[in-house]
Homo-oligomer: A and B are copies of this chain.
């Protein structure tokens, strides 16, 4: 496994592509290409593996299907696009039943229908050990309106669609007690953020419809890591203000130390984090509110070579790009 996937990808990205219609190749949440049409097309794939991304102890078959599709819809959302079609590839070990397999498809179907998506193909092969599910999603976005990570500029507002950290809190509960145990209502909420995350397509659409300079990224590997990606891709530094970071109510019963860790390094929130010009920020707030969607200012883009710092009163802490590891 390459030590830094980001560097590894950079080394393996071709300098030139063959097709002139390619708009975004390797390196963002999804690829974008265009033909003779008013829309550009988006394509992305994500794979989930038993024992790495989920366990039977933490996720039902329906949850697994839901999440495998959700992570891809989230990539489309992070490009400002509309998800349209998906294709599924499942490698199934002998200890998974046909009912469980059907449950996985049910979970995908239930989520896909919420976005009017169609499953248009796929294959099922046998797997010697672990269940693997790989989902490809095709989406669309109005020509020239897709959002990338590299558009952050000094002076921009850094925004976040919803509080982070609840998925990680839910995972901790699941690892402690298993998914069949008793949970309070609040705890079940947290479980749901982990098992059935909701991709923020609507929010992505509001941002891309503004037609202003904005950058966008979805939070799969933790807020700290994804803000670092924005900073690196845009060659800027970013300051986050601890007093502005939203804290989910459900987290208040946990110790301070745990929930701040989850908020910055928890992973699998599938919220959107991005940047927008100060001029456009009020309009974004207004449009989001009109759609019944939340958005929080959490920081500012600064000049400099992609340092991400958290300001807490007088204190300055560097937020490292620390990858999220599900079960460690």
Contacts and interface: CB of A to CB of B under 8 A. Distances in A.
A120 interface: yes
Interface in A34-68: 35-39, 41, 43-47, 49-53
A19 interface: yes
Nearest to A112: B18
A292 to B, nearest CB: 24
Given A25-B118, A132-B132, A19 B85 contact: yes
A124 interface: yes
A77 B215 CA distance: 38
A46 B123 contact: yes
Interface residues on A, range: 35 or more
Given A101-B2, A136-B87, A52 B118 contact: no
A10 B116 CA distance: 21
Contacts of A128: 49-52, 129-130
Nearest to A122: B45
Count of identical protomers in the assembly: 2
A209 interface: no
Interface stretch (A90-98, A224-232, A296-304): A90-98
Nearest to A106: B12
Contacts of A26: 119-122
A-B pairs, top 7 by smallest CB distance, nearest first, are: A31-B120, A129-B129, A134-B134, A31-B121, A136-B136, A47-B89, A18-B116
Interface of A: 1-2, 5, 8, 12, 14, 17-19, 22, 24-26, 30-31, 33, 35-39, 41, 43-47, 49-53, 84-85, 87-89, 91-92, 94, 98, 101-102, 105, 109, 113, 116-130, 132, 134, 136, 138, 140
18 contacts: A1-B98, A12-B105, A14-B119, A18-B116, A19-B84, A36-B37, A45-B87, A45-B123, A47-B89, A47-B125, A47-B132, A50-B128, A52-B91, A52-B125, A52-B126, A127-B130, A129-B130, A130-B130
